[in-house]
Chain A
């Protein structure tokens, strides 16, 4: 498949791309950096997702992430220029990170190699879906159009087990306005249209999982779907098995919630991510 394709597909580590897709579609992944206090790690290179959540649970301050440098992108693009005619580079939403900007600057320094840098406007596995869509196209133009068309249809539905990490982050004031702070509620959040908004709140985890399923079913039909989790693989598998039986013929993988979304959700978060048809 990759041998026929004349353009490369690049993303960053926040796409939470499953390793299997990385190999199957030949997708290049540039790591962001995760900073806990004075320690810096390359996301998913120096630090696994499991390790990230172990550290997150133990820390009183949220970790920060920093975008790859333009130079790091330039290095990757220069290397790819030897084997490909061009490249599509799809990244974490510009409202959340400077990664897209770094990619654009890096692309300008590679002469004679066309790089279409795409702001996905979203987080986590919908970016991986966009990479898959691109990788299955024949031409760079076709891939760019196919990806652009799907960006407004990307959704991340996330169920938090606790409000602690949202509070620590001090972000999502709109969400907090609805969530309240006295009771330990389980909020259901939706990332869509460059916004994170609360769509529901319940008191127990089993009800929250049920509500997440109900919300997702109202969003059908979908083109791509994955179930995601932060340190809750068994529940994720249960949800995935249920959805697979409802959606025969649909590839449905279970993926890890990585550091960017994970630092807001905390451990035990679950998600359903998809691209609407």
Chain B
């Protein structure tokens, strides 16, 4: 699933996000003694919502929610009731999205529900038959997704989230059929996936990643060797049938992908150590500050040591570490919101893939939470700069939204795959430039791509370019970029900040 990334930019992986979301649902169920379908469905709904990461994770949690509503009060389900629950699950997913797009997990959920209902209308139908129909309906819908969405067609892949739902339904079927093994066929009907490779970070090992590998004839030493190359504090122990893995890494996705080759992963848990640490530091710092007169706290999702410092310096009370490649869960954001010493909180997701998970937070806490839909770091900075501690929350939210909307974001990274996107042919490794999340330029060096992007924005309308330098940018590359901007756009002021973000050598704020 992770390899079904349609965009050439390194970003949050659908497979990881859905797996962690589902894992959270499974754990809630395991911790209870519930035997009735209504209670189990409710636990799945709650657990998946708390663990929801990324857009696909949030939509999956809404599918569980719809299912749980449909089966309320029932201890067992008839085939018809099950089919109706699948349909209601799809409806709930559609309702959760502002602008439903066909060719995504939504379509797959709806087709699964329809197929289930058709099967259930047969008087002889049993529960396994209804689930089998749902899984088959999902699979048929997944294969059709490229015909519904241009971006999938361009990338030559099926929709990753829809494919994830198909796998979940197939897993459900195998469980019902009491299958001995859990091997899912992943190749049939799926176009050849693209290759995604994320570079290892140069510093910091942010995520405590733990899981069990369930397999046969597992080579513990070989697994240890491979895991050791990906992080530190490595512990790999076990038997040929079951291996326990613990590692601190900045690339949990890579570790999971690697380990998945050896066998089935159980009890997967990814914890963000830097967040836990920083949260403590932040609450200490907040304790030393005079309380704000408007009683409003600030929580932001940010990654990169420099960016974290910038947001904290601007007055943010708690940082949830995450963003582009590691989407924080709803629970992560909820914990941070509940941890700040204010009853009203403004939450800044600062990434398009985090917004949906962030927007679940307000309904999960007693606090009044305002989510400002910031799509990028520059938008987040603009919003925080506009925050004033002496101003009422409604005025602050309005001003923060307005300021975020004024800023233009240019992001510069390397393509992680060959693709055609937005009419551009991109080769893996090319320098690519995105303006406000949209891929606009490809080239061979950073300065060239940034020049084109600034030219497209029309520099006359702007005054200041703030360059947030990422981990991947060298001193020379930074100096080149700076002098190129000054030479080509003498009317623009240039300010350089150490962002320390991964994967994006440069993020530029143009205002």
User: B370 an interface residue at 8 Å Cβ cutoff?
Assistant: no
Rounded to whole angstroms, the CA-CA distance of A206 and B497 in the bound complex is 21
Interface residue from A177, A183, A201, A205 paired with B310 (Cβ < 8 Å): A183
Tally of chain A residues near chain B (CB < 8 A)? 17
Q: Are A183 and B463 in touch, CB under 8 angstroms?
A: no
Is the C-beta of B76 less than 8 angstroms from some C-beta in chain A? no
Question: What 0/1 pattern do residues 272 to 297 of B give for CB contact below 8 A with A?
Answer: 00000000000000000110000000
Does the CB pair A181–B315 fall under 8 Å? Answer: no
A203 within 8 A of B: yes
Residues of A within 8 A of B389 (CB): 178
B511 contacts the other chain (Cβ, under 8 Å)?
yes
Cβ-defined contact, B313 with A203, below 8 A: no
Of all chain A residues, the one with the shortest Cβ separation from B389 is A178
Q: Are B315 and A182 in contact (CB under 8 A)?
A: no
**Contact status B463-A205, CB under 8 Å:** yes
Whether the pair A180, B463 counts as a contact (CB closer than 8 A) is: no
Instruction: Return the chain B residue nearest A198 by Cβ.
Output: B388
B466 is an interface residue with CB less than 8 A from chain A: yes
Residue of A nearest to B309 (CB): A182
Report chain A residues within 8 Å CB of B381. 183
B452-511, CB < 8 A from A: 463-464, 466, 493, 495, 497, 511
Q: Would you call B309 and A203 a contact (CB within 8 A)?
A: no
- Nearest chain A residue, comparing its CB with the CB of B289: A177
Q: Does residue B97 face the partner (Cβ distance < 8 Å to A)?
A: no
C-alpha spacing A185/B315, complex, angstroms: 13
Task: Bits for A181-210, please: 1 = Cβ < 8 Å to B, else 0.
Answer: 111110000000000000111111111000
- Complex Cα distance, B389 from A203, in Å, reads 17
Interface size for B (C-beta < 8 A) is 20
Question: Is B385 among interface residues, defined by CB-CB distance under 8 A?
Answer: yes
Instruction: Please determine whether A202 and B497 come into contact, CB atoms closer than 8 angstroms.
Output: no
Say whether B197 faces chain A, with CB atoms less than 8 Å apart: no
Are A204's CB and B511's CB within 8 A? yes
Contact with A along B374-390 (1 / 0, CB 8 A): 00000001100110110
Residue B424 interfacial (CB < 8 Å): no
Are A204 and B464 in contact, with the CB atoms below 8 A?
Answer: yes
> Smallest CB-CB separation from B316: which chain A residue?
A180
| B176 within 8 A of partner (CB) | no
* Contact code string B181-201 (vs A, CB < 8 Å = 1, else 0): 000000000000000000000
B388:A180 contact, CB within 8 angstroms: no
B125 CB within 8 Å of chain A: no
Asked if A183 and B511 make an inter-chain contact with CB atoms under 8 angstroms apart, the answer reads: no
The residues of B that contact A202 with a CB separation of less than 8 Å are 385-386
Contact A203 B314 (CB under 8 A): no
Chain A residues, Cβ within 8 Å of B382: 203
| Least CB separation from B384: chain A residue | A180
Which residue from chain A places its CB closest to the CB of B388 in the assembled complex? A200
Q: Are A180 and B289 within 8 A (Cβ)?
A: no
- Please give, as numbers and ranges, the residues of chain B lying within 8 Å of A183 by CB-CB distance: 310, 313-314, 381, 385, 466, 495, 497
Contact of A182 with B497 in the complex, beta carbons under 8 Å: yes
* Residue-wise interface mask of B (383-410) relative to A, using a CB-CB cutoff of 8 A (1 in contact, 0 not): 0011011000000000000000000000
Q: How far is the CA of A206 from the CA of B462 in the complex (A)?
A: 10
Whether A184 contacts B495 by the Cβ 8 Å rule is yes
B contact residues vs A (CB 8 Å cutoff): 289-290, 309-310, 313-315, 381-382, 385-386, 388-389, 463-464, 466, 493, 495, 497, 511
Further pairs besides A180-B310, A183-B381, A185-B385: 13, Cβ < 8 Å: A180-B314, A180-B315, A182-B309, A182-B310, A183-B466, A183-B497, A202-B385, A202-B386, A203-B464, A203-B466, A204-B493, A204-B511, A205-B463
Selected A-B contacts with CB under 8 Å, 20 pairs: A178-B388, A178-B389, A180-B313, A181-B313, A182-B314, A183-B310, A183-B313, A183-B314, A183-B381, A183-B495, A183-B497, A184-B495, A185-B385, A200-B388, A201-B385, A202-B386, A203-B385, A205-B463, A206-B463, A207-B511
